[in-house]
Amino acid sequence: MASVTAYRSGPYLVRGPVRVIDEDGNVLTIRRAIVPLCRCGRSRTKPLCDGSHGAAPAREDPEADASASRIA
């Protein structure tokens, strides 16, 4: 049975047998026991997570977003 673990400011980690289908209906070939699915929308490999969430402030923290926009 598959299980899904949501990480705060991180991906959903799916463990167990799962079939991943992208937004165009293509079935993705997954060769891992654990599949990281993007939640933040920043990944360049959506629907898979590429770790991009770690390079930007968490969206749940409005103060961090404001700081980032002042820096840019």
Which pTM does this prediction carry? Answer: 0.67
Q: Mean per-residue pLDDT for 1-5? A: 93
Ramachandran bin of 59, using left for φ above 0, alpha for ψ from -120 to 50, beta for the remaining angles:
alpha
* Model pLDDT for residues 19-64, shown as the tens digit of each residue: 999 999 999 998 889 999 999 999 999 999 999 887 766 555 554 4
pLDDT, position 56? 62
Q: In this structure, is the dihedral angle defined by the CA atoms of residues 26, 13, 1 and 30, taken in order, positive or negative?
A: positive
Do 16 and 3 meet the contact criterion of CB atoms below 8 Å apart? yes
69 confidence band (pLDDT: 50, 70, 90): very low
pLDDT, position 57? 61
